[in-house]
Amino acid sequence: MTTKRAAIFDVDGTLVDTNHLHVVTWWEAFRQAGHRVPMREVHRAVGLGGGDLIEHLLGKDRDPDGDAQLQAAHHTLYATFFDRLPAMEGAGELLRALAGRGWEIVLATSAGGAELSALRRAIDADDVILGAAGADDVRQGKPAPDPVARARDLAGVPSGRAVFVGDTVWDMRAGMRDGVTCVAVLSGGIPRADLEAAGATAVHRDTADLLDHLGTSVFADLEGHARP
């Protein structure tokens, strides 16, 4: 039986304060294409991969020929922020603290390519990040379990020895489907009740709060009571 443990992290809204940038840039991409989509609806869809987000907001009966243009517009608009994406307070310190406690640190995100590289630069903790399961590495994004399962594979651990930290309902659903322990943070702007209903075992204000309470967190519990 492996003795390794995996701490899997979502990135947008969890480690980097980008959810509202995504809201604005997706809203503008929709506006440019002639779609009126309320920002509140865009906000609740953040965390889905680009194609899934478009389908979620415009419906399956939309003309899918416009999807590529929408995704390209969003990427172009969002890329203007790549050099100044703000990490959440305590994000890098949290990853290093967990690595120091023996956890393998892996990312599970809907981002990929240059976007994921920009996010990792913002976190500034590549010295402890084992790897990342991004949009380019899985067939289906969250809420499918694929990103979390792929991250676990990178760490080489079973679901009973992994914790997934995220900020959206889609994160919690993906983690639940993979059988890992799910921890939520409120920094993405999703209500606590929604995160708990989707499967969050514990909810913290943000990464700084989780770091402050690491010794009494789910991570500490699993260190003492590891499941096979």
SS3 of 16, please? strand
Distance CA(70)–CA(51), nearest Å, equals 9
Domain identity same for 57 and 128 = no
Say yes or no: 105 and 204 in one domain.
yes
CATH, residue 118: 3.40.50.1000
End-of-domain residue from the set 59, 80, 101? 80
| Cα–Cα dist 175/158, whole Å | 13
| Cα(38)–Cα(163) distance, integer angstroms | 33
Q: Which two tokens stand for residue 79?
A: 């890329």
Distance CA 191, CA 160 (A): 27
Range of the domain at 66: 19-80
For residue 226, the model assigns a pLDDT of: 44
Q: pTM for this structure? A: 0.94
Predicted local confidence at residue 136, as pLDDT: 85
| 139, HSE (Cβ side, Cα atoms, 13 Å) | 0
Please identify, among 39, 62, 80, the residue that sits at the C-terminal boundary of a domain. Answer: 80
Residues 98 and 204 in one domain: yes
CB atoms within 10 A of CB 191: 11
Burial class (CB in 10 A: 0-12, 13-18, 19+), 184: buried
- Give yes or no: residues 59 and 153 share one domain: no
Statement to judge: residues 69 and 175 lie in one domain: no
Same domain, 91 and 180: yes
Asked if the bond preceding 143 is cis, omega within 30° of 0, the reply is yes
Q: What is the CATH number of the domain that holds 47?
A: 1.10.150
pLDDT of residue 202: 98
Q: 104 with 177, same domain?
A: yes
Shared-domain flag, residues 74 and 10 = no
| Residues 44, 137 share a domain | no
Pair (14, 26) in one structural domain: no
Split the chain (228 residues) into runs of 10 and give each run's mean pLDDT: 86 98 98 97 96 96 95 98 98 98 96 95 98 90 96 96 98 98 98 98 98 96 66
Q: Which two tokens stand for residue 67?
A: 């999807």
74 and 92 together in one domain: no
* Residues 198 and 115 placed together within one structural domain of the fold: yes
- Report which DSSP code applies to 92: H
For residue 170, CA distances in Å to 62, 99, 140, 184 come to 22, 26, 12, 11
Residue 71: its pLDDT value, please? 96
Read off the amino acid at residue 159: S
Task: Provide the pLDDT for residue 102.
Answer: 96
Q: State the total domains in the chain.
A: 2
End residue of a domain, out of 54, 80, 106:
80
At residue 73's C-alpha, the angle toward residues 111 and 117, to 5°, is 30
Decide: 26 and 75 in contact? Cβ < 8 Å: no
| Strand partners for 7 | 105, 163
